[in-house]
């Protein structure tokens, strides 16, 4: 096929005994016939699955059509996108997702914006009768879920352009999904870098600067940073399976060692309270740490990470119910001491 010729459906040569008759090309009649077959078999949407050789031919034809998008008019490209979406939506063809998505990633097609236009029409049509989870499943099987920006021309490959484009097209759930995914990736990157620094016992000032820079670059919420800090610090502890005292000593030693790091990011009562909830959840979910809750809280107080007001607020009005009754009772002696000190002041 010449690079300037767009793919077409070939006619069928019908053989007779006396002469050859070339069946005329009639795309409209062909389309009507295909639709009629579908309607006649409405109870069985897997017609082509009965004919594996037809599926292979369909794959080849689909690939050729998609690689030749520039040879079609805009309305024809739109129809092709709608057909492709319906094929997946109705599970009619059995097409592997990679057959659709991979041929689209030709540099010249992407650069001209044809791929973005096609994929947008595809998404919009598919989501009419399917959920976002269904769409993500197809993207995963097509090996493009993590590379959606590859459908954009290189000059527009940014999270901002992604959000702007698909919001304008009414695909807000897709935008929200992508933003969440980006957020999770950045959070994971920060956690990985922090884990390495903690394991290497890097200088606290250096660790603080690194985290602050990552928070700034990724625009991470302060509350998520506090959660990650605690998780990383506790993951680095060498816990004992049976020796409760060893666990207590290890946890308290970790708190004392990295108190300045926690202090740098627990900058108000709301963040301090979130840290208490993290401690509560960890002690609730890990049986070997259940009895350490009051000791850890006391240590965080001694290191000026938790303020007296934060601890009293958690004790009186804490909203997380998991293990709360047990932890309130365990923390009561320390709270009584704080209240006495508060009255004396």
Q: Which CATH class is domain 181-344?
A: mainly alpha
Q: Across the strands, what pairs with 14?
A: 21
CA distance 307 to 304: 7
281-317 pLDDT, tens per residue? 999 998 888 889 999 999 999 999 999 999 999 999 9
Helix-strand-coil split of the chain, %, nearest 5:
75, 0, 25
The more confidently predicted of residues 34 and 228 is 228
pLDDT for residue 19 is more than 60: no
Rg (CA), the chain: 31
43-81 pLDDT, tens per residue? 454 555 555 666 777 778 888 888 888 988 999 999 999
CA distance 247 to 229: 19
DSSP symbols for 32-93: HHHHHHHHHTTT-S-GGGG-HHHHHHHHHHHHHHHHTGGGS-HHHHHHHHHHHHHHHHTT-S
CA distance 126 to 82: 8
Q: What is the pTM of this model?
A: 0.70
pLDDT at 65: 87
Mean pLDDT of 138-165: 93
Residue 239's pLDDT band (boundaries 50, 70, 90)?
Answer: confident
CA distance readout (Å), 35 to 30, 31, 195, 215: 9, 6, 58, 55
């Amino acid at each position: 096929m010449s690079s300037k010729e767009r793919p077409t459906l070939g006619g069928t040569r019908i053989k007779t005994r006396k002469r050859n008759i070339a069946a005329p090309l009639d795309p409209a009649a062909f389309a009507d016939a295909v639709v009629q077959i579908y309607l006649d078999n409405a109870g069985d949407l897997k017609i082509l699955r009965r004919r594996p050789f037809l599926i292979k031919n369909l794959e080849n034809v689909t690939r050729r059509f998609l690689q030749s998008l520039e040879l079609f008019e805009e309305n024809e490209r739109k129809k092709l996108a709608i057909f492709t979406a319906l094929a997946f939506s109705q599970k009619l063809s059995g097409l592997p997702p990679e057959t659709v998505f991979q041929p689209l990633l030709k540099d010249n097609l992407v650069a001209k914006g044809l791929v973005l236009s096609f994929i947008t029409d595809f998404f919009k049509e598919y989501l009419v009768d399917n959920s976002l989870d269904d769409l993500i499943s197809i993207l995963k099987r097509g090996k493009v879920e993590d590379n959606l920006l590859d459908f954009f021309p290189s000059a527009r490959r940014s999270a901002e352009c992604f959000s702007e484009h698909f919001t304008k097209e009414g695909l807000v759930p897709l935008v929200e999904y992508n933003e969440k995914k980006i957020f999770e990736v950045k959070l994971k990157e920060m956690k990985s870098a922090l884990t390495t620094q903690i394991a290497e016992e890097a200088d606290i000032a250096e660790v603080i600067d690194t985290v602050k820079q990552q928070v700034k670059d990724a625009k991470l919420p302060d509350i998520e940073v506090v959660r990650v800090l605690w998780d990383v610090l506790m993951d680095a502890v060498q816990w004992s399976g049976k020796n409760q005292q060893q666990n207590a000593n290890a946890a308290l030693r970790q708190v004392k060692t990295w108190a300045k790091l926690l202090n740098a990011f627990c900058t108000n009562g709301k963040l301090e309270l979130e840290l208490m909830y993290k401690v509560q959840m960890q002690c609730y979910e890990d049986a070997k740490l259940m009895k350490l809750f009051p000791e850890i809280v006391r240590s965080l107080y001694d290191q000026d990470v938790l303020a007296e007001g934060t601890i009293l607020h958690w004790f009186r009005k804490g909203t997380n119910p998991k293990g709360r009754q047990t932890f309130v009772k365990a923390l009561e002696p320390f709270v009584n001491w704080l209240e006495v000190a508060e009255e004396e002041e």
